[in-house]
C-alpha cells in the first residue's frame, strides 16, 4: 500500500488521490476490506482500509472500521457535489483520521477536512485563503457539505 502513496506537499502525510472515472466508481462492485466493512474498490477510502500497523513508519495504527465507514459516507456525498476535476486528495492521518484536501483547485484558496474516527460524526475544516487560515470548526455532516458547496462555488 505504501508504494502506491505519495507525500502531500501541504500536510506532509501520505495521500491516495488519483484521477478516477466517476461512472466506474458508482457502478463498481463492492468488496470487503480487511476491517469487515464493505467499500467500493475504486474508492480512495477503500485503499486506506489496507493500511497495516506502522503504515507511517512510526507505529501508527490502522484506521478503524467506523472511520472508514464515515469516510466512505463523506466520499459518496462529495461525489454528488463534485465533478472529477474538483475531487479532493484523500490521505490517512495518525490517531484515526482521514484528511480530504482540495489544494490545487482554486487560485490561492484551499480547503482541508479532517474526519475523526469517533462514535459520533466529528470533522474539522480549515479554509485557507492566500496563506491565511480563515475558518476552522468542528462541524456536522450537513454543515460540512454546506462548507464544501460554498468552497466549490466560490
Asked whether the beta carbons of 77 and 67 are under 8 A apart, the reply is no
Sign of CA dihedral 56, 60, 12, 115: positive
What's the confidence (pLDDT) of residue 67?
A: 93
Distance CA 153, CA 150 (A): 5
Query: Once rounded to an integer, what is the mean pLDDT over residues 53-82?
Result: 91
What's the confidence (pLDDT) of residue 20?
A: 35
Res. 97 pLDDT band, cuts 50 70 90 = very high
What's the confidence (pLDDT) of residue 126?
A: 87
Distance CA 139, CA 124 (A): 6
Which residue do the cell numbers 507511517 mark?
A: 56
C-alpha distances in Å from residue 150, one per residue of 17, 45, 82, 107, 115: 22, 23, 12, 15, 19
Amino acid at each position: 500500500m505504501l508504494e502506491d502513496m505519495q507525500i502531500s506537499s501541504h500536510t506532509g502525510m501520505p495521500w491516495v488521490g488519483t484521477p478516477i472515472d466517476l461512472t466506474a466508481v458508482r457502478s463498481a462492485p463492492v468488496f470487503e476490506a480487511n476491517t469487515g466493512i464493505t467499500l467500493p474498490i475504486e474508492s480512495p477510502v477503500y485503499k486506506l482500509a489496507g493500511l497495516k500497523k506502522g503504515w507511517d513508519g512510526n507505529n501508527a495504527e490502522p484506521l478503524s472500521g467506523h472511520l472508514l465507514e464515515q469516510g466512505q459516507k463523506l466520499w459518496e456525498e462529495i461525489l454528488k457535489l463534485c465533478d472529477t476535476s474538483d475531487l479532493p486528495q484523500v490521505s490517512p492521518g495518525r490517531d484515526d483520521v482521514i484528511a480530504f484536501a482540495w489544494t490545487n483547485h482554486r487560485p490561492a484558496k484551499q480547503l482541508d477536512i479532517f474526519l475523526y474516527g469517533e462514535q459520533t460524526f466529528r470533522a474539522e475544516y480549515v479554509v485557507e485563503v492566500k496563506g491565511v487560515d480563515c475558518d476552522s470548526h468542528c462541524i456536522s455532516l450537513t454543515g460540512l457539505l454546506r462548507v464544501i458547496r460554498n468552497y466549490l462555488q466560490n
